[in-house]
């Protein structure tokens, strides 16, 4: 059965704006871009986002604030690593490291983005926490399209087509 509200295994396209509730700063928005398309119930989105959008119809707008735990999680101090600066020698021949730089480490489980948070001559402090971890986030969301997922999308665990995943 397919109903016309956001539910498990539906493919939803939404326009959204995410702001930090304390400062009002916009950290992400689909404004001026294609809507974001995702397969509901397959961990494509942060958990609280889907929970708050369940049951929404096309044209419906919702606004909600998620605690960090329902968004990108709490900060994990163990995800901050000290890496010998020598490991970056090759990279630094092209561009010197700077605090605030975002880089990607090749880890056994795949690429892991991190931010350089401190630099000495010997060490690079690499913060692998998501930049939005530890933060409450407010989202304003409008549902623009809704359809049932195809068999292929369900087996891949993500949405295909405009705004979704491309192969």
Closer to Zn ion by Cβ: residue 73 or 164: 164
- Closest distance between Zn ion and the C-beta of residue 159, in Å? 8
Is 156 a binding residue for Zn ion by CB under 5 A? The answer is yes
Least distance to Zn ion, CB of residue 155, Å: 8
Yes or no: say if 162 and 37 are a contact pair by the CB < 8 Å rule: yes
Cβ 151 to Zn ion shortest distance, Å = 11
| Separation CA 114–CA 126 (nearest Å) | 6
Report whether 144 contacts 13 (CB < 8 A): yes
Return the residue matching tokens 């708050």: 52
Size of site (CB under 5 A) for Zn ion? 1
Select 41 or 134, whichever has its Cβ closest to Zn ion.
41
Output 85 or 156, the one with its CB closest to Zn ion.
156
- Residue 42 binds to Zn ion (criterion: CB under 5 A): no
The site for Zn ion (CB under 5 A) is made up of: 156
């Amino acid at each position: 059965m397919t109903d016309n509200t956001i539910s498990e295994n539906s493919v939803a396209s939404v326009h959204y704006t995410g702001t930090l509730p304390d400062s009002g700063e916009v950290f992400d928005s689909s404004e001026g871009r294609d809507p974001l398309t995702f397969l509901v119930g397959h961990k494509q989105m942060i958990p609280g986002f889907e929970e708050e959008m369940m049951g929404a119809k096309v044209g419906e707008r919702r606004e909600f604030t998620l605690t960090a735990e329902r968004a990108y999680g709490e900060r994990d101090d163990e995800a901050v690593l000290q890496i010998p600066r020598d490991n970056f020698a090759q990279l630094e021949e092209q561009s010197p490291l700077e605090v605030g730089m975002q880089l990607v480490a090749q880890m056994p489980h795949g690429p892991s983005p991190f931010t350089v948070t401190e630099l000495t001559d010997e060490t690079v402090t690499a913060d692998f926490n998501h930049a939005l971890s530890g933060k409450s986030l407010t989202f304003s969301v409008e549902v623009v399209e809704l359809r049932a997922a195809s068999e292929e999308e369900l087996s891949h665990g993500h949405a295909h087509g405009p705004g979704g995943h491309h192969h």
